[in-house]
Chains A and B, each alone.
Chain A
């Protein structure tokens, strides 16, 4: 490892992150691996959403990016564009990467104050004022030990640590668990505001897709240890379309497409279709008196991951 200054004078540029054909096996070789040949790219400076069902491999992928564990096979790279390195046992990469996992990644039986002091010391770009302001807003009592806190307060503490670290690669792995709605929205607001002022790379995994999809620039969907899709969120939204109008007219436009959802009220129907509508089709639909709408990322996610879920059931 080449020597680097311990305290860089300027903030490193936002990190990119990459998995190249990564395999992670936790147990015996004949069991399905947690990641079975996963490849993805997180563009530097984006807020990237990582979506997947329970057990899909999200947490494993994020732990790899943070250098918390090593891949069984394949390559893991993080760092500024053109200078990406394997984060495992790599002090420089670890110093500039902040992973916050469920439960806040805090020491349960030390006072929260001590955890905060540790991160303030470990993260070169730490902003103590930002931390203090957010902790106050989220009503986290620093004199308490995280073990004495509610799950929501412990998560809030973790969320604050993630934001205040200003790390060039900041990863939130289901950090919202236990946080009530006002706290979650306070976290989202703080995240958007601070990210806008201090651009960095943020990876956020969440099951509350409706709440966070607009925060994302890119979306990665993992399923059963593989990457199903990784693309800008606008492209994800364009993978489907919703139509509202007279039921018979709506049905003409279904035209053999896969229907993600269908609702009917008297003569009016709403369908959500999988598959892009090009400009000509949009015009035809509008001319026919239909109202076109976007498809929620959540609906597409459910659709994309449901089939593989059925396969999984069938294998048992």
Chain B
């Protein structure tokens, strides 16, 4: 867990964003405390606090004094807007670049997106799965 190149606090922030985006953590729902986060992942509490600080700045979380951290109203919508804007550049463009390298014709990609078989019913028996977006926002 948290083996990426970014500082650990950014990876934690990303994990919480992904949970909000997926609807696993609802708006106005309480998230783990700094202590819980630190003990769960055996990390320095300052690292956990830094992740929360980042998410508060982004409007994903807010602090209720004496109670803890909660998902902000509208947090999911804000994240959706942000990642929709990035989807084409950061997810689809690399996938299409990979398709070009593999000589996958655009028509086949379009058919895949539209859920149809290729012109002669599934070209070469190759399932067009490579480069499919995993949906993990960066």
Binding site for B on A (CB under 8 A): 46-47, 185, 188-189, 192-193, 195-197, 214-217, 233-234, 237-238, 241-242, 282, 292-294
B residues near A (Cβ < 8 Å) are 2-9, 34-35, 38-39, 41-47
Please, which residues of chain B bring their CB within 8 A of the CB of A192? 38-39, 42-45
The reply to whether B44 and A293 form a contact with Cβ atoms under 8 Å apart is no
Residues on A with C-beta less than 8 A from B47 are 214, 217
In the complex, which residue of chain A has the Cβ closest to the Cβ of B48?
A196
**Structural contact, A196 and B3, CB atoms closer than 8 A:** no
Q: Quick one: given A234-B7, A237-B7, A241-B5, are A189 and B42 in contact (CB under 8 Å)?
A: yes
Nearest CB of B to A219, in Å: 11
Residues of A within 8 A of B3 (CB): 293-294
B42 touches A188 (CB 8 A): yes
Q: Is the CB of B39 within 8 A of A193?
A: yes
**A185 (CB) vs chain B CBs: closest residue:** B42
Residues of B within 8 A of A294 (CB): 3-6
A239 to B9, CA, bound (A): 17
Q: How far is the CA of A196 from the CA of B42 in the complex (A)?
A: 11
CB of B43 within 8 A of CB of A214, answer yes
Contact A293–B39 (Cβ < 8 Å) = no
With A234-B7, A294-B4: A195-B42 Cβ-Cβ less than 8 Å: no
* B44 and A216 contact, CB distance less than 8 A: yes
Can you list 18 A-B contacts with CB-CB less than 8 angstroms, sorted by A residue number?
Answer: A47-B44, A188-B42, A189-B39, A192-B39, A192-B42, A192-B44, A193-B35, A193-B38, A196-B39, A214-B2, A214-B47, A215-B44, A237-B7, A238-B7, A241-B5, A282-B5, A292-B5, A293-B5
Residues on B with beta carbons closer than 8 Å to the beta carbon of A238: 7
Q: Which of B3, B35, B39 has the most CB of A within 10 A?
A: B39
With beta carbons under 8 angstroms apart, the residue of A46, A188, A242 that contacts B46 is A46
Residues of B within 8 A of A193 (CB): 35, 38-39
B41 to chain A, nearest CB (A): 8
Name the B residues within 8 Å of A292 (CB-CB): 4-5
Closest to A241 in B: B5
Q: Which residues of B contact A215 (CB under 8 A)?
A: 42-44
B contact residues around A188 at 8 Å (CB): 42
CA distance A46 to B44 in the complex (A): 9
Interchain CA distance A189-B39 in the complex, whole Å: 6
Which one of B2, B7, B45 contacts A196 once the chains associate, using CB atoms below 8 Å?
Answer: B45
Given A193-B35, A196-B34 in contact, is the A214-B42 Cβ separation under 8 Å?
yes
A46 to chain B, nearest CB (A): 7
Neighbour of A197 across the interface among B35, B42, B46, CB < 8 A? B35
Nearest CB in chain B: distance from A115 CB, A: 28
**Nearest chain B residue, comparing its CB with the CB of A47:** B44
| Chain A: CB-nearest residue to B5 | A292
Which A residues touch B7, using CB under 8 A? 234, 237-238
A233 to B47, CA, bound (A): 10
For the A-B complex with A189-B39, A215-B43, A282-B5 known, give 11 more contacts whose Cβ atoms are closer than 8 Å.
A46-B46, A185-B42, A189-B42, A192-B39, A193-B39, A196-B35, A196-B39, A214-B41, A214-B42, A214-B43, A292-B4
